Structures are given as structure tokens and as C-alpha cells.
Amino acid sequence: MEAVDAVEPPKRKPLRRDPPPLSPAMIPTEDALHRRLAEELEYARRMLDIMGDALASDGAVVVRHGTSLQSVDIVGQMIGHIANVIRSSDPEGAVELIGMAELKSRLQRRSIG
């Protein structure tokens, strides 16, 4: 009997691709205090969310205080963005990722005060 050369099947493209590398702004800082501060801000944000949800479930409160409830939501979003900046190994890059234009411009302004 003759030996038959094994024919390799053609290589297929993988079904999954490696994810793109993370931006330095998305990589957590090595500073433990900054990470803990960000965790505390996230905790405060979650407490605001819970309070806002509870208040928004009461129709009378929504009618009387709708604008204030929206402000609570906006403050929660701001706290989340600030936590991301504090936690980031590239804070300036993290500011670039903020979607709230007013907050982003305040954090990028040249003068303080």
C-alpha cells in the first residue's frame, strides 16, 4: 500500500475577531485611591438613580417636580462621567469620551474660576 499524503483543509477565517485594543482612557489607573474615589462616586450615582426612580413612580410628584427629577438624572450622569475620568489611566482621554457637551467643555476650559 502506498502512503497517501494528507491534504490539509483550507484555513478558514475565524468566526470571532479579537477586540480592538482598549483606548488608554478606558484602562483603569494604578492609583488605588482614584479607583476607590470612582467607586464611591458610582455608589452615589446609583443611590440617586434609586431615589429618582422611586420619586418618578409617583405621578403627583412627577407633575409637580418633573424638572427637578430631570436635574437629578442629569446630576447622576455627570457623577458617572466624573467617576470615569477619575478612574482612568488617561484622564484627558476620558474627558474626550464624555458625551455631555456642557460637562466636557467645562472640564476642558483653560481658566478655572
pLDDT digits (tens, 9 = 90+) for 79-113: 999 999 999 999 999 999 999 999 999 999 988 76
pLDDT digits (tens, 9 = 90+) for 55-75: 999 999 999 999 999 999 999
Do residues 48 and 75 touch, judged by C-beta distance below 8 A? yes
Q: What is the pLDDT of residue 53?
A: 95
pLDDT over 70 (residue 50)? yes
pTM of the model: 0.78
Go through 49-69 and write b for each residue having 16 or more CB atoms within 10 A of its CB, e for each that does not: beebeeebeeeeeeeeeeeeb
**What are the domain boundaries of the chain?**
32-108
